[in-house]
Structure 1
Amino acid sequence: MTKAMEIVPSSELQKQFGRYSDEAMIRPVGVSRNGRVRFVMVPVDEYERLRRRERVAGCAEDLDDETLAAIRSVEPASECEDAEARLKSP
């Protein structure tokens, strides 16, 4: 889905559900309540695609040498070191 999400108040969704359910087949439709988006309507195939992308554990042995070398060469950012120090202090 490449089109920007349309945001509609929940009261408007209730009045024109058919219109917005059709629109959700083209682009995401955010449904707001009290000015805050509470949920997003997307087609079921998009929802299922997103569900498949959930994290899946793998083994380091399954990674190629180039990927392993890239992982080994990563240096933490200074913000990470600060966070680590805060976690260790009582």
Structure 2
Amino acid sequence: MLKVSALEFQRDLARYQDAAHTQPVVITSHGRENTVLISAEEYHRLKRRDRQVMGPADFTDADIAALEASRPPLSSRLYDDELSD
């Protein structure tokens, strides 16, 4: 990953656009990460991996029944202590 200041990015835009084809380019502002430039190909790959959020109205009665009938595996009890205050 390549990090550059916003000022340096503005000075040599073409260089950093080319670099973004092989690695993310992090653009900083006042020493803090502000923006990441990635290739269009990488952007589309990430968009394909997006997950869709569903609301209660999106579930069928069969979906709800299956969720209600499901039980976590016994191995999940290892994490019960994370639920207590």
TM-score (norm 2): 0.67
Which residue matches 1:31?
Answer: 27
**Deviation, structure 1 residue 25:** 0.6
Structure-to-structure mapping, 1:11-90, within 5 angstroms = 11-56=7-52, 72-73=72-73, 74-75=76-77, 76-79=79-82, 81-82=83-84, 85=85
For 1:17 and 1:31, locate their aligned partners in 2 and report how far apart those are by CA, in whole Å. Answer: 11
Q: Secondary structure at the match of 1:72?
A: coil
5+ residue gaps, structure 1: 62-68, 86-90
Match of 2:5 among 3, 9, 15: 9
**Aligned letter for 2:32?**
R
> Which deviations, in whole Å up to 9, do the C-alpha atoms of 1:5-52 show, x marking residues without a partner?
111000000001111111111100000001111111111111111111
Q: Any idea what the Cα deviations from partners look like across 1:28-80, whole Å, max 9, x if unmatched?
A: 00000011111111111111111111114698x8xxxxxxx9x721233422x
Distance 1:77 1:9 in 2: 45
Runs of 4+ in 1 over 4 A off after TM superposition: none
Q: TM-score, normalised by structure 1?
A: 0.64
Gaps in structure 2 of 5+ consecutive residues: 63-69
Change in CA separation of 1:57 and 1:9 when aligned onto 2, cut-off 3 Å: closer
